[in-house]
Structure 1
Amino acid sequence: MARSPRPVRISRRMALAAGAGLAMPGLLRAQPRFPDRPIRLVVPFGAGGNLDTLARMLVPGVAERLGQPVVIENRVGAGGNIGTEAVARAAPDGYTLLLGSNGALTINPLIMERVPYDPAKDFAPVCLCFRTPQVLVASPKLPVKTFAEFLAYAKARPGQLQCGSAGSGTSNHLNIELLNAATGIGLVHVPYRSSGGATPDLLSGALASSMEQITTALPLHRDGQLPIIAAALPRPLPLLPDIPTLAEAGVPGGGLVSFIGILVPAGTPAPITATLQAAFAAALAEPALRARIEETGSLMADAAATTPPGFAALLRQEADLSRRAAAAAGLLVR
């Protein structure tokens, strides 16, 4: 005769575990790995510009470390506000990132009546990537060779010398106003549509000077066409150690530096932010990438600034300096 099967003994621990599994089945399933699909990096400016170029240098190394493609999406308009707003409204899941810079994060909210996002509340900083200094270039037709000679020449002609920028309200423009406030030389601002737009007028002598991104000015300086006479930095540029800084003329902090960093929508889980930060920081540490970036004149972020707290500190510093510059330019609206 076949024996009846023995009853299974169920301990109290097994019963509690089974009950928990019925109540919270998600606990018994493995959480999906992040990332498990492509990531979108929104660049709020057009293809081919400084931000876009640096982003495209960076993303291959990041994608390799994350194991997923990082796809650049150029969302242009309103001085960077359109692309920035798109990220602010995106799901906080780590799959939509912002390549953030001065304009949309630390300048536009001060000089525009309405900005459709709050930089402090709608984003979480992940990692500072690069800083692109600005430089003061002088027309070769001007009878000056150095920054000191330029300051003396301008002081002797208050309100007569013009200085170009990439547009009204840009960080280039604000650096001109910081220089004016520190020295009293009275440069007259002339806005152009982009960095480098002033080059023909500088070469012809129609424009005395311009505040340019170093990535635009460095090739012309090396070719002997447009001399760089000062850098908007607290310390001299490694590539141009003999060029003085705006700090030497009394500009606070040496002026604004165009920064480029990664942000995510506020509310993104901390483990996801940490995964992204580690991937970007590791990619930025690659010697080959560093060499390519530094050759353009841009500066790699130091290790502290590649952390969320370090990037957050830089954002606060840039916002404070931007406020002073916007006030000096008469652009401050809030």
Structure 2
Amino acid sequence: MHRTKTLVLALAAGLVLPFAGWAQPAYPARPITLVVGFPPGGGADTVARIVGDSLSRQLGQPVVIDNRPGAGTTIASDFVARAAPDGYTLLLGSAGLYGGDRQLYKNVKYDGAASFTPISRWSLAPMLLAVSNALPARNVGELIALAKAQPGKLAYSSSGAGVVTHLAALAFERAAGVQMLHVPYKGGAPSLQAVAAGDVQLTFGTPPSVLPLAQGGKLRMLATTGAQRSPQLPDLPTVAESGVPGYEFSFWFGLFAPAGVPRDVADRLFEASTRALADPQVRERLEKSGNTPAPSASRTEFGQWAAVEGRRTLELTQRSGATNE
């Protein structure tokens, strides 16, 4: 009987030991997909590829960029929200996740606070306030004076109702106490061409889009919307220091994972992001693209900050009255 019991225990041990060796490998054990809701070549894609390249070196696995443009980035966001929360499908996200997307697209099913785990902020980028050469205003103060003298007459273009170029102008109207006429276009290029042609008087555009036209003498830059002057344009004042105290509007990108991702995986991604954004070459490449490296102090800090920014974006989106349904 004793020999029989010993044999049974030995067989059981033989069955258990192999399974013990089947423990999950350390994360990451295979390539990671970073989903971007914009087409290749744009500002978001540039940030994703610059930081993603360094992130792959930090993690020891390829970070593959998966561009899924369309429906104001909601296609990409929905794809990641429904992905397995294992850290292998991530999202380059922004403030629209926190309600702005659902304001614009009523069929959106995800919720920023419930569907995603914030990992880290990656970049901040100011916009540029640019005006037509035909406009007599040479600074923000003169622009405000013209707008107040002609309520609802001064026209500004945007790359679409409810998008950041529109929201930046709405925030400016509120902060400066002016009322202007919104003329939406289908994209940044036609929006800026309208300013260059004098069809509208001003716009708020991204640096990569505005700078070539400004350098070519097709339009004039009056200010940057950031909290501080841009290192690339040190002589260009901010809107705030030009007579609109408190005004600041920057668009940002950060890393998000699906809700429910294991804490150790989220921590690993945060640490790798922090190291990537500390790399001097990464910082230089981001700054040359018009972005400022902006790593978060912690995952908690990023989550709280993103939620506040998201609420502000939602309020501006609601004020715009824009909807794409």
The bucket for the TM-score relative to the shorter chain is 0.7 to 0.9
Instruction: Name the CA distance, whole Å, in 2 between partners of 1:81 and 1:21.
Output: 51
Distance 1:24 1:230, change over 3 A: farther
Q: Which residue of the other structure, out of 127, 134, 137, is the alignment partner of 1:134?
A: 127
What is the SS of the residue equivalent to 1:254? coil
Residues 163 and 207 of structure 1 are in contact (CA less than 8 Å); yes or no, is this contact kept in structure 2? yes
Distance 1:20 1:321, change over 3 A: farther
Query: What are the within-5 Å matches in structure 2 for residues 315-330 of structure 1?
Result: 315-330=306-321
What is the CA distance between 1:104 and its match in structure 2? 4.1
What is the CA distance between 1:33 and its match in structure 2? 1.9
What is the CA distance between 1:29 and its match in structure 2? 4.4
Distance 1:78 1:235, change over 3 A: same
User: Which of 126-135 and 83-92 deviates more?
Assistant: 126-135
Cα displacement string for residues 249-303 of structure 1 (whole angstroms, at most 9, x for unaligned residues) = 5475513x21111100111101111111222221111101111211232111045
Instruction: Name the CA distance, whole Å, in 2 between partners of 1:324 and 1:179.
Output: 14
What is the SS of the residue equivalent to 1:280? helix
What is the CA distance between 1:127 and its match in structure 2? 1.2
Counterpart of 1:68 in structure 2 is 61
Q: How many residue pairs are counted as aligned between the two chains?
A: 317
What is the CA distance between 1:240 and its match in structure 2? 2.8
Runs of at least 4 residues off by over 6 Å: 18-25
Residues 121 and 296 of structure 2 are in contact (CA less than 8 Å); yes or no, is this contact kept in structure 1? no
Instruction: Name the CA distance, whole Å, in 2 between partners of 1:38 and 1:159.
Output: 52
Distance 1:199 1:287, change over 3 A: same
Counterpart AA for 1:329 = S
Counterpart AA for 1:309 = T
Distance 1:267 1:302, change over 3 A: closer
Q: Which residue of the other structure, out of 109, 132, 136, is the alignment partner of 1:143?
A: 136
Instruction: Name the CA distance, whole Å, in 2 between partners of 1:97 and 1:129.
Output: 13
Query: What are the within-5 Å matches in structure 2 for residues 193-232 of structure 1?
Result: 193-232=186-225
Q: Which residue of the other structure, out of 134, 137, 152, is the alignment partner of 1:159?
A: 152
Instruction: Name the CA distance, whole Å, in 2 between partners of 1:189 and 1:19.
Output: 75
What is the SS of the residue equivalent to 2:138? coil
Cα displacement string for residues 36-62 of structure 1 (whole angstroms, at most 9, x for unaligned residues) = 111111111111111012211222211
Identity %: 36
Instruction: Name the CA distance, whole Å, in 2 between partners of 1:234 and 1:21.
Output: 65
Q: Please list every run of 5 or more consecutive structure 1 residues that lacks an aligned counterpart in the other structure.
A: 1-6
Counterpart of 2:286 in structure 1 is 293
What is the SS of the residue equivalent to 2:108? coil
Counterpart of 1:125 in structure 2 is 118
Bigger radius of gyration: 1
Counterpart AA for 1:43 = V
Counterpart AA for 2:120 = C
Counterpart of 2:184 in structure 1 is 191
Residues 323 and 332 of structure 1 are in contact (CA less than 8 Å); yes or no, is this contact kept in structure 2? no
What is the CA distance between 1:28 and its match in structure 2? 5.4
Normalising by structure 1, what TM-score?
A: 0.86
Counterpart of 1:31 in structure 2 is 24
